[in-house]
Amino acid sequence: MLCYTESFMEISGQDSFLGQHGMIHKYLKNLALELVKPENLKEKMLPEMDKVARIHMRSWASQGIVDVKEVASNMIFEYFAKKLISYDETKASKKLKDNYNAFRDGLTSFPLNIPGTAYHACLQGQKKAIIVIKDIFEERKISNVNHGDYLDHLLEELNKEKPILNETMAISFVFLLLFAAYETASSAITLAVKFISDNLEVLVELMKEHEKIIENHEKGFEITWQEYKSMTFTHMVINETVRLANIIPAVFRRAVTDVKMKGK
C-alpha cells in the first residue's frame, strides 16, 4: 500500500481525503462523483459552462493577446467556486484565488517551512483558503438557506443521523475538490490550444465539426447535450490531449509496507 509523504500531507491537511483509505476513501470518491453525475452534466453543467465560456471568450477576444493558462484558470475557478460554495471572487472581501495560486506554486516545492520559501507560502495559502471556506460553511449553517450548490449536499451529509464526514473533513474536501477541478481543467485547455496550434489540420477538422453545429443553431441558443455528444472529433482531440499531457502535479508516494517482487 502507498501513502503520501509527511510534507505533502502537511500541505493538503491531515484530515484530507487523500489520506483516507478503505470505506471512507470510497465514500469520498462517490461524494465527489455526485458533482458530475450524468443528470447534472446534462441539465446543469453543460449549459452553465457553455454560457461561462462564451462570456470569457468574448472578453479574451477583445484583449488581443492573453495568457491561455491564466485566463483558463480564472474561468474554471470562477465557475467551480460558484458551483461548489456559491463563492464570487468579484464580490468577496477575502480572495480565494491568490491563496490557491500560492498553494499550487508550492505544492511540489522543497519542504522548507521558512518565510520566503514556496513551501511556506503554500502552507499559508492553504491555511487562508481553508479559513475562507470555513467561514462560508459557518454562515451557511446559521442561515439555513438553500443555495442550490454542492455545499448544500455536503451539509445534508453532515446532518445525517450517523454521518461519515465530520466538518473538518468536509472543509478540506471542498478545498481540494476546487483545486483539482480548476487546476487540471485549465492545464488541459492550455495544452489543447498548444497541440491544436501545432497541428493546423486538426484545427480545420474541429472548425468543420463546430461550424456544422452552428449552422443548425438559431443565434443565442445554448448547445444541447445531443450536439455535445455528436462532437466525435472534438472528443478525440480532448482524449488525445489528456493522453499526451500530464495534467496532474507529480507527487511522490512512499510504500507503507515492503513490496515483494518474484518472492523476494
Query: CA–CA separation, 178 vs 168, rounded Å?
Result: 16
Query: What pLDDT sits at residue 172?
Result: 87
| Model pLDDT, residue 1 | 46
Which pLDDT belongs to residue 236? Answer: 96
DSSP of 216-250: TS-TTPPPPHHHHHT-HHHHHHHHHHHHHS--SPP
DSSP class of residue 44 equals I
The pLDDT value recorded for residue 20 is: 58
Residue 214: phi and psi, rounded to 5, are -65, -35
Grid coordinates 499559508 are at which residue? 124
Q: Are 149 and 84 in contact (CB under 8 A)?
A: yes
CA–CA separation, 71 and 185 (whole Å): 12
Domain 2-255 matching CATH 3.40.630.30: the answer reads no
**Terminal alpha carbon distance of the chain:** 17
Residue numbers in the chain where pLDDT is lower than 70: 1-22, 218-220, 248-256, 264
Domain boundaries, the chain: 2-255
The pLDDT assigned to 7 comes to 60
pLDDT at 256: 66
pLDDT in tens, 88-125: 888 877 789 999 999 888 877 788 889 999 989 988 99
Locus of grid cell 480572495: 95
